[in-house]
C-alpha cells in the first residue's frame, strides 16, 4: 500500500488567521480548509516562536521551507502553493498569514 505524504495521519486541528478547522485523518489540509470555507492564505514563519524543528520542511513537497535545524525557518513565497500541510505539523503555531 502506498502512503500519500500529503494526507495527515490523525485528526489535527489547524488554526490560521484566527480561524480553526479540523483536518480528519486521511485528508488533505487544503480540502479540510475548503470544507470549512477557509482559504489557506499566503504564509510566513514567525521567527520569534519557530524552534527549527524541521517538521514543516519534511512535509513540504515543494521545497518551500528552508532553515538550519534549531534556527528559525522561512517560507519562500515563490515556491509555496498554499497547500497548508505545514500548518498541520507545526506544534508551536509559528506558521502564520504573511
Ligand atoms: S503551505 Fe507552502 S510551505 Fe506549507 S507545506 Fe504547502 S507548499 Fe510547503
Ligand atoms: S514546524 Fe513550526 S517550529 Fe518547526 S521548523 Fe517549522 S515553523 Fe518552525
Q: Is the pTM of this model over 0.95?
A: no
Given a cut of 90, is residue 7 above it in pLDDT?
no
Give dist(CA 77, CA 70) in Å, integer.
22
64 CB within 6 A, ligand 2:
no
- The structural architecture, per CATH, of the domain 12-97 is 2-Layer Sandwich (3.30)
Measured CA distances, 30 to 6, 82, 88, 91 (Å): 10, 8, 10, 18
62 CB within 6 A, ligand 1:
yes
Distance 62 CA to ligand 1 centre (A): 7
Instruction: Tell me the domain boundaries of the chain.
Output: 12-97
pLDDT for 21-55, tens place per residue?
A: 999 999 999 999 999 999 999 999 999 999 999 99
Give dist(CA 6, CA 85) in Å, integer.
7
Best substitution site from 8, 31, 43, 66 to test ligand 1's pocket, by max atoms within 8 Å of Cβ? 43
Beta bridge partners of 19: 16
**Ligand 1 atom closest to the CA of 40, numbered from 1:** 1
**Ligand 2 atom closest to the CA of 45, numbered from 1:** 7
Amino acid at each position: 500500500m502506498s502512503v500519500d505524504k500529503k494526507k495527515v495521519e490523525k485528526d489535527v486541528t489547524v488554526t490560521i488567521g484566527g480561524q480553526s478547522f479540523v483536518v480528519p485523518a486521511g485528508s488533505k489540509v487544503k480540502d479540510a480548509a475548503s470544507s470549512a470555507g477557509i482559504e489557506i492564505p499566503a504564509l510566513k514563519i514567525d521567527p520569534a516562536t519557530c524552534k527549527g524543528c524541521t517538521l514543516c520542511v519534511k512535509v513540504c513537497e515543494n521545497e518551500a521551507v528552508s532553515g538550519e535545524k534549531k534556527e528559525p525557518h522561512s517560507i519562500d513565497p515563490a515556491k509555496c502553493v498554499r497547500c497548508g500541510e505545514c500548518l498541520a505539523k507545526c506544534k508551536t503555531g509559528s506558521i502564520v498569514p504573511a
